[in-house]
Amino acid sequence: MRFTPFALAAAAIHGVAAAPSRETRPAERGFACGAPEPDAEHIKISQQFAAQEASLLASGNLTVKATTFVDVYFHVVAKSTSVSGGYVSDAQLTNQLNTLNAAYAPHGFQFSHKGTTRTINANWADDSKGYEMTMKRSLRKGSYSTLNIYFLTDMGDNLGYCYFPESGGGTSGSTTQIRDGCTVLYSTVPGGSTTNYNLGGTVTHEVGHWFGLYHTFQGGCSGSGDQVSDTPAQASASSGCPIGRDSCPSQAGLDPIHNYMDYSYDSCYEEFTPGQRARMASFWNSYRAGK
């Protein structure tokens, strides 16, 4: 949410981010993302990135890597081998990967599938039962630059959640590294059964958090919002695909209902902004690349 248009930038600032607590924040129409609520320290780091990105833009010293390749592992954690039990087919996972790559390709990121695990465990498949860390200690693959996505049968009120980049994630076996990744309701993959959210957009949204992005409605109409200069201010999450919605009429721009970091229907999602690309690059370079 912000004020002036922002051109493409990439930066790297090192800082310390405390592990934020996860909150469930339901949207107006049934979507809920359980990603962390950014704490003051994480917001401060985002502000530092914003300042450096703006400085690089003003000085003309912008350098952007054409494409960054990210290894990704899928973990299907189901209650049974039936569709109703949470089992996701290989074809659906392939379609999910293609959807993710299509969304991020214009912004310099591509995801390389390195493997899939399949686990039948009724406790792990229900996010509300509190087995998150036990599950991840058993299943997680790769380093802090490796994206792990867990597809669960039951997510309660959430469609998904993912953790922001944090300091300390590069330490092998650390709680920060083990906890990292995205957990997503299985039926949100392409061809899934969650009405209005079954085109794969939930994974795209949650991975935005993995790269350090906030919701476009972060902070509402006042304050510093999502710390990205080219996402218009937004009072609250969108419902459906409300063309022309302007929830902050005193500020420039209509609500970014097509942005992947809003809560719109999957069919409404279309874009990240250049400023969001810059922010993803900043967090990647400082917190994940080579770690």
Residue-wise burial string across 46-70, b where 16 or more C-beta atoms lie within 10 A, e elsewhere: bebbbebbbebbeeeeeeeeeebeb
Cβ atoms of 190 and 88 closer than 8 Å: no
Give yes or no for residue 1 having a pLDDT over 80. no
What homologous superfamily does CATH list for 1-291?
Collagenase (Catalytic Domain) (3.40.390.10)
Name the residue ranges covered by the structural domains of the chain. 1-291
pLDDT recorded at residue 149: 99
Give yes or no for residue 22 having a pLDDT over 80. no
Cβ atoms of 112 and 69 closer than 8 Å: yes
pLDDT recorded at residue 74: 99
Give yes or no for residue 46 having a pLDDT over 60. yes
The verdict on pTM exceeding 0.85 is yes
**Can you tell me the distance from the alpha carbon of 238 to that of 258, in angstroms, rounded to the nearest whole number?**
10
CA dihedral of 274, 275, 276, 281, whole degrees rounded to 10: 90
Cβ atoms of 199 and 99 closer than 8 Å: yes
CA distances from 5 to 57, 139, 274, 278 (A): 12, 42, 9, 13
* Residue with the larger pLDDT of the pair 163 and 30: 163
Q: Is 290 exposed, middle or buried (0-12, 13-18, 19+ CB in 10 A)?
A: exposed
Cβ count near 202 (within 10 Å): 28
- 235-259: pLDDT as tens digits: 999 989 999 999 999 999 999 999 9
pLDDT recorded at residue 222: 84
Q: What is the CA radius of gyration of the chain?
A: 18
**pLDDT band at 58, cuts 50/70/90?**
confident
pLDDT recorded at residue 27: 34
**pLDDT band at 19, cuts 50/70/90?**
very low
DSSP at 165: P
- 60-93: pLDDT as tens digits: 766 667 899 999 999 999 999 999 999 999 999 9
Cα torsion 202, 166, 43, 51: sign: negative
User: Residue written as tokens 């994974």?
Assistant: 203
User: Residue written as tokens 């400023």?
Assistant: 275
**pLDDT band at 36, cuts 50/70/90?**
confident
Give yes or no for residue 201 having a pLDDT over 70. yes
Averaged over 264-272, what is the pLDDT?
97
Q: Give residue 165's identity as a one-letter amino acid code.
A: P
Give yes or no for residue 4 having a pLDDT over 80. no
pLDDT recorded at residue 30: 58
Averaged over 187-196, what is the pLDDT?
96
Cβ atoms of 255 and 185 closer than 8 Å: no
- 131-169: pLDDT as tens digits: 999 999 999 999 999 999 999 999 999 999 999 999 999
Cβ atoms of 80 and 57 closer than 8 Å: no
pLDDT recorded at residue 64: 67
**pLDDT band at 223, cuts 50/70/90?**
confident
Task: Confirm whether 206 is a catalytic residue.
Answer: yes
Give yes or no for residue 17 having a pLDDT over 60. no
Active-site entry in 53, 206, 270, 271: 206
